[in-house]
Structure 1
Amino acid sequence: MRQPTIYFHILCALLLSIISCKQADKKEDAFKKVKNEVLVLGTIHGGHLTDSVYTTNYLKRLIKNIDPDYILTEIPPNRFKAAYDGFKRDDSISEPRTMRFPEYVDVVFPLSKTIDFEIIPTAGWTKIMADERGNKLRAIRQDISRTADWTAYVAANERTDSLYKASGKVNDPYFIHTNTYDSIQDIGLQTYNELFNEELGLGGWENINIAHYWNIEKALEKHRYQGKRILITYGAGHKGWFLRELRKRDDIELLDMHPFLDAIQE
């Protein structure tokens, strides 16, 4: 009668070992699954060189305060190596597309020498797409049968501009990082999208945002549950579109920009 008892104890020990291993695995999985923190920084491109507040120096202080692990940029992946190689060679950017963005030329690339973060190119832009979009928009503007569409497009842009100026907060980084700002931008952008997105093909507003965000999502998936801080830097008009998509994810924690803006006030 002792033999079954021995077997019973052995079986119990095995079961306890299996349960213990599973619990350990669960604890390890829970430890590994730490959500990344994500912030979306709306930039004003050339405006950073002329604005009295939202300057490149302001951006430097802000990004230092955010202290990201990864910066997702409005640089196309196929242009990034040329930009980065040039910067490593002589501390300057000569790649034509990247040169358009002071936030990268004067801020992000120089900061990469003193702050430990990885620059990830995520723009869906291509020159062919941009040229085709420009040509199609010129054709629409000159087509007398499309006068009503073009008039509606211009009127929506003027409405956005007037509301923006009426706010008295032109290029104010606090205002740019609000839902109100996104709503004002949407007046012009949604009209543009409804009228021309399909016709403009890859250069349409919805379509280019999908292309940008596809690359952003690839980066988010690659670094999922690493407990890192990810900063997305794009022209401010894209911010509302991206935030709507990012809010659908349950694997990240979206951070508000305002506390970081508060922290760098002099």
Structure 2
Amino acid sequence: LKKLIGVIKPDFILTEIPPDRFEAAMAEFQKTGAITEPRVRVFPEYVNVIFPLTREMKFEIIPTAGWTKIMNDERSRKLRAISQDPARKADWAEYQAAEKRSDEMLKAAGNPNDPYFIHTDEYDRIQDVGLQVYNRLFNMELGLGGWDNINIAHYWNIEKALEKYRYQGKRFLITYGAGHKGWFIRELRKRDDIKLLEMKPFLDKVK
């Protein structure tokens, strides 16, 4: 990842870090070289690579996650209740079946951990097999933690960064869990002021 970011040469890295957690994490890193902030430390790519790279490269980390602990706890509570509710047995079974089907399709199509495969439209389509069922069944019920809803919250912050630097020729690297990629790309392709770069040429440089 360190080599990949080196060849991408981003001006900004948009991260799956909530804005209200970023300042504490960055202050801690600058003071001690380590990060213990609970939400940030769960991402090894940030703790081990991106934060340390700020000492070697000139890019700005922008926190763009719409995540909050309250939202996450509420989503977990509601999903647990749904999974245990006899009246929702059919919905839960449909969701689990879709997730299983998506996992099987990913394994059949390629290595789910291969960055070349991850950065394809096929990967996004297969992820959607499970995610769209999850979204249809539970999005409204899960409130801010629903699939569409949380992506809207993430993307709102991403768009704020894009708007701030519109037409300035800046390069942005978005770093989120791979499941979010398809949702974001569908929205990003609606914009006529940005150019989406394929990841393959950059991956080829760090083989």
The structure 2 residue matched to 1:245, chosen from 169, 187, 200, is: 187
For residue 169 of structure 1, the aligned residue among 98, 111, 118 is: 111
TM-score normalised per structure 2: 0.99
Per the alignment, in what secondary structure is the counterpart of residue 14 of structure 2?
strand
Report how far residue 164 of structure 1 moved. Answer: 1.0
Q: Which consecutive residues of structure 1, in runs of 5 or more, have no partner in the other structure?
A: 1-58
Query: Aligned equivalents of 2:85 and 2:69: distance in 1?
Result: 24
Contact 2:18 2:68 in 1 (8 A): yes
* 1:129-152 deviation per Cα after TM superposition (whole angstroms, max 9, x unaligned): 000000000100000010000000
Query: Structure 1 residue aligned with 2:48, among 93, 96, 106?
Result: 106
**CA displacement at 1:260 relative to structure 2:** 0.4
2: CA distance between counterparts of 1:124 and 1:168? 31
Q: Report deviation, 1:168.
A: 3.6
Q: Which residue identity is paired with 2:34? A: S
2:86 is matched with which residue: 144, 156, 159? 144
Structure number with higher relative contact order (C-alpha < 8 Å, ≥ 6 residues apart): 1
**Residues in 1 aligned to 2:94 and 2:45: alpha-carbon distance in whole angstroms:** 33
Q: Quick check: 1:197 aligned with 2:142?
A: no
Q: Say which one has the larger Rg.
A: 1
Give the Å deviation of 1:170. Answer: 2.5
5+ unaligned residues in a row in structure 2: which ranges?
Answer: none
Distance in 2 (alpha carbons) for counterparts of 1:246 and 1:186: 17
Give the secondary structure class of the aligned counterpart of 2:55.
coil
Q: Does residue 197 of structure 2 align to residue 255 of structure 1?
A: yes
**Match 2:68 to one of 126, 143, 163:** 126
2:34 to 66, 69, 92: 92
Q: Partner letter of residue 123 of structure 2?
A: Y
| Residue 71 (structure 1) shift | 0.4
Distance in 1 (CA, whole Å) between partners of 2:160 and 2:69 is 22
User: How far apart, in 1, do the equivalents of 2:114 and 2:204 lie?
Assistant: 13
* Partner residue, 2:128: 186
C-alpha distance in 1 between matches for 2:73 and 2:110: 35
1: CA distance between counterparts of 2:111 and 2:23? 37
Q: Which position in structure 2 is the counterpart of 1:115? A: 57
Aligned to 1:206: 148
Following the alignment from structure 1 to structure 2, what is the Cα–Cα distance between the partners of residues 187 and 167?
14
Deviations 1:54-98 (CA, angstroms, capped at 9, x unpaired): xxxxx1111111010000000000000010000000111111000
For 2:23 and 2:13, locate their aligned partners in 1 and report how far apart those are by CA, in whole Å: 15
Q: How much has 1:120 moved relative to structure 2?
A: 0.2
Task: Give the distance between the partners of 1:233 and 1:70, measured in 2 at CA.
Answer: 11
Contact 2:110 2:117 in 1 (8 A): no
Equivalent position SS for 1:100: coil
Q: Output the CA distance in 2 between the equivalents of 1:98 and 1:87.
A: 11
Amino acid at match of 2:77: N
Letter in 2 for 1:131: D
Task: Give, as a single letter, the amino acid of the residue that structure 1 aligns with 2:171.
Answer: R
Moved over 2 A (4+): none
Let me know the Cα RMSD of the aligned residues.
0.6
* Structure-1 residue corresponding to 2:8: 66
CA contact (8 A) 2:15 2:62 kept: yes
Secondary structure of 2:142's aligned partner: helix
Distance 1:260 1:183 in 2: 23
CA distance in 1, matches of 2:125, 2:110: 16
